[in-house]
Amino acid sequence: MESIDSPPAPRDVLIVGGGIAGLASAVGLSRAGASVTVVEQEPDFHEVGAGLELAPNGTRVLAEWGLLEEMESLGVRPRALVIKDAIDGRVLTRQELGADFERRYGGPYLVAHRSDLLNVLLRAAERAGVTLITNEKIDRVETQHGRALATAASGNVYEAQLVIGADGLGSTLRGVLSDDVPVASGFVAYRGTCRMSEVDIDADLDNVVAFIGPGCHFVQYPIRKDLDQHGQLLNQVAVFQSPAFLRGETEWGLPGEVDAAFATCAEQIRHALGYVPRDRHWLMYDREPIDTWVEGRLLLLGDAAHPMLQYLAQGACQSIEDARVLQATVTDAVFGGSNHDRWIDAAQTFNSIRAPHTARVQRTARQWGESWHVDGIGRTLRNMLFSSRDLSDHHYTDWLYAQV
């Protein structure tokens, strides 16, 4: 990657944002034959946070791009997704992730460190000849004379056939298309990893386990195998509804709220909670779905287009799906025929394919999260529903994981 001092040469596509969505798009577009530049405002390409889940709709694409083997070597294949009640610890339902699951959905389910996925994509982009620029913040994108012009805070102007806004939840470029703002869920996440050899947590290292409780949940899964002979790395995520948020306060989700939020949970959870760092936390936001992601030669994707709550663990996967679908529409519209200037068609086709689906993922993620956090009779009904689920029933996952 490089910093630049002089205005860069024009590329087919300029991607604004070097997170998972931006880098995955760089990989996909390179494979479509496009020349790509990625600009990132930070001094380097990195991911904050701890673990991340990759369902088959993401790993299928990694496999096609030749990246799955590397990703698998860094991550873990859990045996099952297990949902337990956080108060009594009872198993409510599980999704086996073995051979039948992989056959059905055409890829494995992996869990990994967020930075490992980012680095796999970054190396793939480098190998594909993507120009990677850091310390460059794009403030403005305009479409003039059939070209997109992106102006950076540095004064540099980038020229491209298409600019992709992959600048995340707080996207600057989304402002061109919508005046909506992120929606606070009132839930906050504390997360972190610990080496199993250094803690006395009685965690299930075979599975992704989500303990779901009234106004809170707690997730545990291993994300690295036998790391440095020090045993496995356990990822833990503690999420709860902030009482300060409910009181309408502007400062919410602070560390003083953590222990009380899990006070009614099983002892196992309260003990493990002691190992979750309190020095950082993430306020959980999403946005309302919007239909239109294209304005002139600007296209939004990833969290900039469809930020979602984390409950379906689909943030990374939907960004990777975006990249794969954009690869296909660009291949068809731009490089497939005689007309070499059909970038807008490609972006609009991409928009029409992806927006209805990601809107459903955004809405379902909210509802799925709500169902995790119910109390009283809602909890009773939820537990009865989940417990009575036929484990061979795939209608909860087919729409999300199956081949598009």
Q: Indicate whether 385 belongs to the interface with a copy of itself (CB under 8 A).
A: yes
Which among 105, 158, 221, 285 is annotated as catalytic? 221
One of 43, 200, 377, 392 touching a copy of itself (CB under 8 A): 377
Q: Indicate whether 6 belongs to the interface with a copy of itself (CB under 8 A).
A: no
Nearer to a copy of itself, 185 or 193 (CB): 185
Nearer to a copy of itself, 356 or 378 (CB): 378
Q: Indicate whether 370 belongs to the interface with a copy of itself (CB under 8 A).
A: yes
One of 381, 398, 403, 404 touching a copy of itself (CB under 8 A): 381
- Other C-beta atoms closer than 10 Å to the C-beta of 84 total 24
Part of the chain binding a copy of itself (CB under 8 A), chosen from 17-25, 92-100, 192-200, 377-385: 377-385
Q: Indicate whether 371 belongs to the interface with a copy of itself (CB under 8 A).
A: yes
Nearer to a copy of itself, 1 or 374 (CB): 374
Q: Indicate whether 93 belongs to the interface with a copy of itself (CB under 8 A).
A: no
Part of the chain binding a copy of itself (CB under 8 A), chosen from 2-10, 141-149, 312-320, 363-371: 363-371
Q: Catalytic: 311?
A: no
**How many chain residues interact with a copy of itself (CB under 8 A)?**
13
298 and 173 Cβ atoms separated by less than 8 Å: yes
349 and 329 Cβ atoms separated by less than 8 Å: yes
Q: In Å, how far from its chain's centre is CA 95?
A: 20
Q: Indicate whether 380 belongs to the interface with a copy of itself (CB under 8 A).
A: yes
Q: Indicate whether 256 belongs to the interface with a copy of itself (CB under 8 A).
A: no
Part of the chain binding a copy of itself (CB under 8 A), chosen from 133-141, 162-170, 344-352, 367-375: 367-375
Nearer to a copy of itself, 33 or 378 (CB): 378
Q: Indicate whether 3 belongs to the interface with a copy of itself (CB under 8 A).
A: no
In whole angstroms, the minimum distance from the beta carbon of 390 to a copy of itself comes to: 9
Phi-psi group of 229: left, alpha or beta (phi > 0 → left; psi -120 to 50 → alpha; rest → beta): left
Dihedral (CA of 312, 315, 317, 321) sign: positive
Catalytic residues: 221
Residues that bind a copy of itself (CB under 8 A): 367, 370-371, 374, 376-378, 380-382, 384-385, 388
